[in-house]
């Protein structure tokens, strides 16, 4: 079969090449993405290089926690630099044949977005590696003793995959990506810009204090902002005051901290994210640590770096602080992501995850044999009282 010769999936798989097509008409390009400035800049530079040569961009891997915008950025890249877009979840490809049918249907210059690459089955992954490296797959023609393997040459396409981190991807797949980018935690001003942008898209007018309030409770996730604003829109009011927002967020089971409230440890829910981190820093200082709050950008979920100069137990400690409603437990994925940041810091001796709520049993099981300590709201209150924190 000659290069770029069309081959059609048999009728036993109706629609397999169609249901993953994503119309690009309503998608926004990279120039409209808010936040992730470094990632967007590198993607533009990367794509422009291929554009000048008149070639299809090579493959891209985006990593980061849930809700940071990996799919949005993937789609924006496809809108700006590709001739079409296919998208799917890795778990949808149950057999190698499913992926083969997909790959053979791609046109020249199309983008193929595959979400959660870590979920791809091993036998399917083997087909994908060969396709990404050689733009070729092997087709079995015929059956029985007369069957033969025939190479099929694929059209040049851009493969864009997402995963929580690089360690979740097999080494064979990892080497197929010419560009690997890790999304970072959003800065507060970026989150506030997103709140204002998404509020406008939902037809909402927010008081300035509400913008900051929503940015505080979204835990750094643009996806969380979008969900909250959709809920606000369903309430039927177009103009949202601080009182409206506080009542709604309370009803949703989220913290709605008015900024500037006093640091009363008995009312941790009244603290903003920054105020809560300051309180934990004060606690650490009273426990003998030298604590320093990190900047909001690129810290991998690390809110405080604390150093202790004591024999045996001394060293560099990484702290993550989460203000959650008491009914919202911290699950294993968040703890696992925090551990990834801990491993990446080769000088750290231990990680401490502190929350106003509690941890699931799965989260505690994950941390049990690792240099991680999980401190829930009850334990935190005891420590605050023991060290007489304000």
Phi then psi dihedrals of residue 199, to 5 deg: -65, -40
Helix axes 273-286, 377-386, angle to 10 degrees: 50
pLDDT one digit per residue (tens) for the chain, 390 residues: 443 333 333 333 434 444 467 776 667 788 888 888 899 999 999 999 999 999 999 999 999 888 788 999 999 999 999 999 999 999 999 888 889 889 999 999 999 999 999 999 999 999 999 999 999 987 766 566 766 677 889 999 999 999 988 988 999 999 999 999 998 878 778 888 889 988 988 899 998 888 888 887 777 788 888 888 988 888 888 998 888 888 888 777 664 344 444 344 456 767 778 888 999 999 999 999 999 998 754 445 789 999 998 888 889 999 999 888 776 788 888 899 899 999 988 899 999 999 988 888 888 989 988 999 999 888 898 888 888 886
Which domains does the chain carry?
30-182 (3.40.50.300), 188-251 (1.10.8.60), 265-386 (3.40.1350.10)
d(CA 213, CA 95): 46
The predicted pLDDT at position 29 comes to 86
């Amino acid at each position: 079969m000659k290069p770029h010769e069309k081959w059609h999936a048999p009728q036993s798989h109706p629609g397999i090449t169609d249901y993953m097509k994503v119309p690009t008409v309503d998608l926004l390009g990279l120039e409209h993405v808010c936040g992730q400035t470094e990632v967007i800049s590198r993607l533009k530079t990367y794509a422009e290089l291929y554009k000048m040569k008149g070639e299809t961009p090579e493959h891209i891997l985006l990593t980061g926690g849930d809700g940071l915008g990996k799919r949005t950025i993937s789609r924006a890249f496809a809108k700006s630099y590709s001739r079409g877009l296919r998208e799917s979840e890795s778990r949808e490809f149950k057999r190698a044949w499913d992926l083969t049918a997909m790959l053979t249907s791609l046109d020249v210059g199309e983008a193929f977005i595959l979400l959660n690459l870590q979920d791809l089955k091993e036998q399917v992954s083997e087909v994908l590696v060969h396709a990404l490296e050689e733009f070729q797959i092997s087709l079995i023609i015929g059956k029985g003793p007369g069957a033969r393997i025939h190479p099929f040459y694929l059209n040049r396409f851009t493969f864009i995959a997402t995963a929580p981190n690089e360690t979740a991807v097999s080494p064979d797949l990892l080497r197929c990506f010419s560009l690997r980018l890790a999304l970072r935690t959003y800065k507060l001003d970026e989150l506030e810009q997103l709140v204002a942008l998404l509020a406008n898209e939902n037809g909402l007018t927010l008081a300035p204090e509400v913008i900051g309030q929503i940015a505080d409770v979204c835990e750094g996730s643009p996806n969380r902002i979008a969900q909250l604003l959709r809920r606000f829109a369903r309430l039927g009011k177009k103009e949202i005051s601080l009182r409206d927002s506080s009542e709604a967020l309370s009803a949703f089971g989220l913290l709605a901290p008015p900024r500037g409230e006093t640091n009363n440890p008995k009312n941790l829910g009244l603290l903003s994210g920054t105020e809560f981190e300051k309180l934990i820093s004060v606690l650490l200082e009273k426990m003998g640590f030298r604590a320093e709050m990190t900047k909001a950008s690129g810290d991998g979920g690390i809110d405080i770096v604390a150093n202790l100069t004591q024999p045996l137990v001394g060293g560099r400690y990484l702290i993550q602080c989460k203000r959650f409603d008491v009914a919202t437990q911290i699950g294993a994925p968040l703890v696992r992501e925090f551990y990834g940041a801990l491993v990446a810091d080769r000088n750290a001796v231990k990680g401490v995850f502190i929350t106003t709520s509690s941890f699931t049993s799965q989260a505690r099981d994950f941390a049990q044999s690792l240099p991680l300590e999980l401190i829930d709201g009850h334990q935190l209150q005891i420590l605050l009282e023991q060290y007489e924190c304000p």
